[in-house]
Structure 1
């Protein structure tokens, strides 16, 4: 039995194969990343950073209200159960801006109506999938905004 010698051609083949696999994986991952991201998170990150403290102040004021908006689905339509420290909140104006997390589907504005049990239900349904909900509530002289994600 004769031993074959490991030559420079063998090393060249190993190196070409190794870097070929690395490059193929990198190109595949870059292509998947580009095709799966549908938009930007914020238009201008500097401006968003300047507004951050204001957003925190609004969030603290909202937390003091003690309101809770629980997203639900009622017959395929988005719904929100609205409760406060004294129980359910009735007579509120509830609007939802529903947007797709990756921005592939245009955002939709929904107006919800009270069903009499503290639950506010949209008149129209949303297509199945994941949706980011920005919930605006105006009731009892207060304004509140809740950001939540729901899977329909």
Structure 2
């Protein structure tokens, strides 16, 4: 009986070219998918012009020191029905009454357009939003004013 020899295929230039083409096809495909994910979840810039923002940095630090000197405290925002409730207090712990509270609500990754939210005082030191706030995560950029004092606060809200 005669033995069959196994057929050995040669590795040719064609095979090498196909392996290189397949490798780069996978790399390019993965890069395109990752770029698509990155662009679809990017919420925008923190500042439009970093140079201009750097020029205002010392002014922002001074405003922050002034705000700390007021001693006002702002409780974390709490959902109440479709709105938001904030509790404000003065340095001595007394309710901060008669303040004007407005905010800009922004979705953290820019999936919804920012909109203004106004607050009305429902009890001494307790302020409730007039406009409803949809379920989900939000950034509230609060501006609290009373007499000649003004305070800015940024809160994450879910």
Same fold (TM over 0.5): yes
Is the CA contact 1:39–1:104 (under 8 Å) kept in the aligned structure 2?
no
Higher strand share: 1
Shift of the 107–5 alpha-carbon distance from structure 1 to 2, 3 Å rule, reads: same
State how 1:21-100 maps to structure 2 within 5 Å: 21-69=26-74, 70-87=76-93, 88-100=95-107
- Per the TM alignment, residue 124 of structure 1 is displaced from its structure 2 partner at its CA by 1.9
Is the CA contact 1:72–1:81 (under 8 Å) kept in the aligned structure 2?
no
Q: TM-score normalised to the size of structure 2?
A: 0.80
Distance (whole Å) between structure 2 residues aligned to residue 68 and residue 19 of structure 1: 57
Is the CA contact 1:111–1:123 (under 8 Å) kept in the aligned structure 2?
yes
Give the unaligned 5+ runs of structure 2.
1-5
Please list every run of at least 4 consecutive aligned residues from structure 1 whose deviation after the TM superposition is greater than 6 angstroms.
Answer: none
Report which of the two structures shows the higher radius of gyration computed on alpha carbons.
2
- Per the TM alignment, residue 2 of structure 1 is displaced from its structure 2 partner at its CA by 6.1
Q: Does 1:126 align with 2:139?
A: no
Q: TM-score normalised to the size of structure 1?
A: 0.83
Q: How many residues align?
A: 151
Alpha-carbon displacement from aligned partner over 1:92-131 (angstroms, at most 9, x marks no partner): 1111111223334332222211221522101221122222
